[in-house]
């Protein structure tokens, strides 16, 4: 993809994935990678930061004799995500107008 | 590089970080390797990139975060945060000349700021000492000429008061400047390291 994914958009994408259900680091990374070309080393700091800001929590679940750390979105995180989504739709519409303008103007 | 080498380097890189942060990071990457499965070990190591770089990024993030949480961040913490961000820039996989340029700019700004602050502190100290000397001189001439003594003591007190006031302002400004410098640079670094893979 030729466009940069800034840190805000990355936060929003992580919250979006988690709003559909709890998951763990590896799956989260693979899901993100389907959409963006993000390198894994940048995802851990993002998760840690979102956790410190109270937008997500973690819990451990045993899996094949070891622990797996699951990430879950919090109420604050859901609110934040809704805000991001509104901003994104607004932004997307404006960029659409510029990039594809004329074609579907009313 | 294999998995155990990766973790040796990551742990070394995080040795100065609190145990809680270090364990959290190490656990995360251990799990990541486990979930990917041993057959994918080499692929994961390639995907993750340099453990030195991961450690540098985590350290810079923690330092900047701590500045945010501190209500009164000290100048020392501000300077060390700027320094950690500079190290993270150097470790980042951006095209090397760009990284060196960015880091050099950071180091230059840091040195210039420290120089200006030292100069200001020296100026304030000179004023303060001057004030004390003038007051002492005023007291010394008290017996011979009372008006001269009073004038002299007055000027001395003015210098003392002024220097203390300016000194406080300098310290407050310095705290703020280093803190925001670390934050801004860290933000830029976030953008860069996230963008550079994608832009290829």
How large a percentage of chain B has pLDDT more than 90?
12
With residue B12 as reference, give the H or E element that holds it.
helix B3-13
**What is the Cα–Cα distance from B10 to B51, expressed in whole angstroms?**
5
CB of B47 less than 8 A from some CB of A: yes
The pLDDT confidence band at residue B126, using thresholds 50, 70 and 90, is very high
List the single residue in A38, A66, A69 with the smallest CB-CB distance to B194: A38
For residue range B137-151, list pLDDT tens digits in order. 888 888 888 888 889
Q: Are B92 and B189 in contact (CB under 8 A)?
A: yes
Average pLDDT of chain B to the nearest whole number: 82
CB B62 within 8 A of CB A48: no
- Average pLDDT of A34-61? 81
Q: Which structure tokens are listed for A25?
A: 């680091």
pLDDT band at A79 (very low <50, low <70, confident <90, very high): very high
- Rounded to whole angstroms, how far apart are CA atoms A28 and A17? 7
**Interface mutation vs chain B, best among A8, A25, A26, most B CBs within 10 Å:** A26
Q: In sequence order, what E strands does B93-198 have?
A: none
Stretch among B66-75, B108-117, B149-158, B181-190 having the lowest mean pLDDT: B66-75
Query: What span, in angstroms and rounded, lies between the C-alpha atoms of B21 and B57?
Result: 13
* pTM of the full structure: 0.64
The confidence band for B199, taking pLDDT boundaries of 50, 70 and 90, is very low
Q: What is the pLDDT of residues B75-109, one digit of tens each?
A: 777 777 888 887 777 776 655 666 677 778 888 88
A1 touches chain B (CB under 8 A): yes
Per-residue pLDDT at A82: 94
């Amino acid at each position: 993809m030729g466009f940069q994914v800034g840190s805000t958009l990355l936060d929003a994408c992580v919250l979006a994935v988690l709003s559909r259900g709890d998951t763990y680091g590896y799956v989260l990374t693979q899901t993100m990678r389907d959409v963006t070309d993000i390198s894994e080393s940048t995802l851990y700091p993002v998760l840690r930061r979102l956790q410190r800001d109270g937008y997500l929590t973690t819990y451990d679940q045993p899996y094949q004799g070891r622990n797996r750390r699951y990430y879950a979105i919090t109420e604050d995180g859901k609110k934040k995500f809704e805000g991001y989504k509104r901003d994104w739709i607004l932004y997307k519409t404006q960029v659409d107008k510029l990039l594809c303008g004329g074609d579907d103007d009313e | 590089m294999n998995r155990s080498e990766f973790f040796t380097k990551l742990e070394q890189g995080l040795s100065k970080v609190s145990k809680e942060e270090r364990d959290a990071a190490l656990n995360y990457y251990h799990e990541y390797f486990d979930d990917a499965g041993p057959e994918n070990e080499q692929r994961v190591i390639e995907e993750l990139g340099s453990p030195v770089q991961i450690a540098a990024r985590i350290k810079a993030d923690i330092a900047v975060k701590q500045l945010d949480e501190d209500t009164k961040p000290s100048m020392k913490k501000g300077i060390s945060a700027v320094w950690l961000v500079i190290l993270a820039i150097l470790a980042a996989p951006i095209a090397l000349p760009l990284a060196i340029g960015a880091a050099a700019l950071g180091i230059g700004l840091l040195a210039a700021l420290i120089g200006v602050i030292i100069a200001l502190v020296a100026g304030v100290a000179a004023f303060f000492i001057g004030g004390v000397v003038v007051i002492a001189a005023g007291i010394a001439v008290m017996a011979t000429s009372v008006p001269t003594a009073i004038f002299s003591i007055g000027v001395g007190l003015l210098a003392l008061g002024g220097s203390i006031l300016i000194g406080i302002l300098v310290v407050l400004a310095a705290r703020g400047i280093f803190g925001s410098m670390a934050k801004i640079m860290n933000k830029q670094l976030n953008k860069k390291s996230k963008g550079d893979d994608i832009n290829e």
